[in-house]
Structure 1
């Protein structure tokens, strides 16, 4: 009897010890997952933001759905994260860009699309310009950028000949920003310096308005804190008319990755986010580590009164759209982007819609679906064709998180209803 009782005690103790060990291992694993950076891949974002309580069931007509039903699984997304309904567009695949790009920049001048910089991978960045010709649908005319120029998160705008390039991130991973500012003569392919921005910024909203180069918002030097500052510099024919930037009315809400557009002498700032990845403290390569982000639907406008006005919000939160827009028939058309993080997986969710903001009615609508979800894509419009190239696409129709960095070029005929 004594031996049996002793054996039971020893067995119970071992069982308790095993349970405690397993629990400890699970806690450590969970801690390591929650505190890990995204290492060598910027493309699998997994940081969280606020999680809304209203959920809808998202259904797709594909084999993955059937497999999920067999396995007893359901795809559940919060309403703000779900794909929006819209008409299917007939997309035609064109010639792929010479290199894949993420967080690059693009400017269209007539039939030419100038495509700048960007990540190739999280550890490599581009320092050159490629040109796409919409007339014959070919790539060519590659030339180098200045060595001091940023490689991603650029502010950029054109007057029709000169391209003004403002600040941005210098180098791969999550390195620091530069305050350097340049201007490119697209006829001679010559670069010139402009007065540096008062302080460096990541992905500031940038445009030309009333003969001045305007730069506002973006992220501050730590890459995460939103900037509210707004500066302007008088310029003409690629030349600065002042030696220093002038302070302007601050933007109501700071942050990077937003569209900034001037139409009919009105300045619009659309979408964007607060927060971004930061360099891991002490990392010699400035390894990126995740931080909380908040993506928003905000639309602001400046006009003759020089006061920021709030306009109707986007259909859902959208960021990473700084070069993903065109103006067609007095409408702003925006392609792809990112929305709030998935409430369960905590991964970044990409957008797969083409949306229209009708400036006659100030109403938003979904005018089409993309061949896949994509962020930081580069957009142009020529002879009725809407083009997009580069960026980072989704993993699959059932997985809206980012995966492959692409250089693909697509186009579709675009017809808009402006009533």
Structure 2
């Protein structure tokens, strides 16, 4: 038999114990909040936290670095969803741009290349899928917004991770990866006469490279960095070759000053007789050892925000860094009114899932002030996109887009063409 008095005392004691624990927890929480080490503790917890399907990870301000997350909504102007950034810190605050979808490219492309000459965008090679690569050129006409004029590339020419530059008629192409998956690089170089559609060979590079920074500067074709033959190790090498009117004036490449930091997937731009190298990464996917198809295997990559300029004394100068690390932007840039505009790319890996994180902003580097700004938001995040600018319109096509507004990981390879009016 249970006594009523005993039961009442037990109930009272239980209530007081709960109150005591609650008070102790509140005091501990206040002490934790006032502790100077609270930020690092929270960071440690957050970095080991595994999100559920619908949770949003909130990171401290030291990690956010002025980034914001907003609730889901619809933009009244273009009907595009405002992005909700789940469990990551990649998106930067950016003005909304009104994007218009144009005719898609004849084929989807990843890691392709593009060069604009006047009103024509020449789009080269690239992956169709991880097991299939393109070996032709498509042309987009900005005047009438149509695709046409397809023609084949040389059989020995690389299919992705190309280096490329133009003098306004001739397009110079250096090495890259030959074949699908993570096959090896080639040292072959070519030049295309865009008026006759004829190809010619040029002296091969001293060694093969993946995705080197490439540009014409002061009568010489400069090739810098990229990845070494194993596809992962960053290269610091810098070579140049004198060229004119689509012909090499020398039989061998000249060794130049090494680039300060190696690696592939960077923007390389010449403006007002200055050569700039922007962004990029160290490391990349490699072929799985022993794989008969050279199956791609993920390795550690470090994306960076570095900006370098080569000056009159052939010395590298360090310029203000990008708003955030950005890679896979080698053909995702244009020059507009004394500024360099960069579209999309990839940034630091997702802090929880460690997956690749795509970039969804349009960045501007003002050359006179040497200041960076975020000038717009893309309709979705995308890497290795191909960019052009014509008659006030900013265009981008191809690449690999995100999984959706709340997932910045890469998913579908696209051939879509988009444009927006951009006044800078």
Tell me the TM-score normalized by structure 2. Answer: 0.82
1:24 matched residue in structure 2: none
CA 1:106/1:60 → structure 2, altered by over 3 Å: closer, same or farther? Answer: same
Aligned to 1:198: 206
1:225 and 2:233 matched? yes
**Structural mapping, 1:178-327, within 5 Å:** 178-327=186-335
- 1:346 matched to 2:354? The reply is yes
Cα deviation digits, residues 212-243 of structure 1 (max 9, x gap)? 00000000000000000000000000000000
Q: Report the alpha carbon displacement of residue 303 of structure 1 after superposing the two structures with TM.
A: 1.5
Gaps of 5+ in 2: 1-58, 74-84
Give the equivalent residue in structure 1 for 2:167: 159
Distance change in 2, residues 1:52/1:284 (3 Å): farther
Of structures 1 and 2, the one scoring higher in RCO (CA 8 A, sep 6+) is 1
Counterpart for residue 121 of structure 1: 129
Distance 2:308 2:60 in 1: 25
Q: How does 1:330-341 map to 2 (within 5 A)?
A: 330-341=338-349
User: C-alpha distance in 2, partners of 1:371/1:216?
Assistant: 32
Q: State whether residues 228 and 251 of structure 1, in contact with CA within 8 Å, keep that contact through their aligned partners in structure 2.
A: yes
Matched, 1:98 2:106: yes
Equivalence for 2:87: 76
Match of 1:25 in 2: none
Q: Deviations over 1:230-268 (max 9, x none)?
A: 000000000000000000000000000000000010000
* Root-mean-square deviation over aligned CA pairs: 1.7
Which residue in the other structure is 2:150 paired with?
Answer: 142
Aligned equivalent of 1:62, options 68, 72, 78 = 72
Q: Which runs of 4+ in 1 moved over 6 A?
A: none
3-state SS of paired residue (1:147): coil
**Secondary structure of residue in 1 paired with 2:264:** coil
Describe how 1:40-55 pairs up with structure 2 within 5 A.
54-55=62-63
Q: Contact (CA 8 Å) 1:278, 1:288: kept in 2 or not?
A: yes
Corresponding position: 1:385 with 2:393: yes
Retained in 1: the 8 A contact 2:68–2:92? no
Distance apart, 1:60 and its partner CA: 3.2
1:394 match: 402
**Residue 182 of structure 2 contacts residue 286 of structure 2 at CA under 8 Å; is this kept in 1?**
yes
CA–CA separation in structure 2 for the residues paired with 1:76 and 1:58: 12
Does the CA-based 8 Å contact 1:195-1:243 persist in structure 2? yes
State the distance in 1 between where 2:284 and 2:318 align: 24
Q: What CA distance in whole angstroms lies between the structure 2 residues aligned with 1:166 and 1:53?
A: 43
Provide Cα deviations, 1:43-66, integer angstroms capped at 9, x if missing partner. Answer: xxxxxxxx9994449533228xxx
Alignment size in residue pairs = 355
Larger radius of gyration: 2
CA distance in 2, matches of 1:205, 1:131: 23
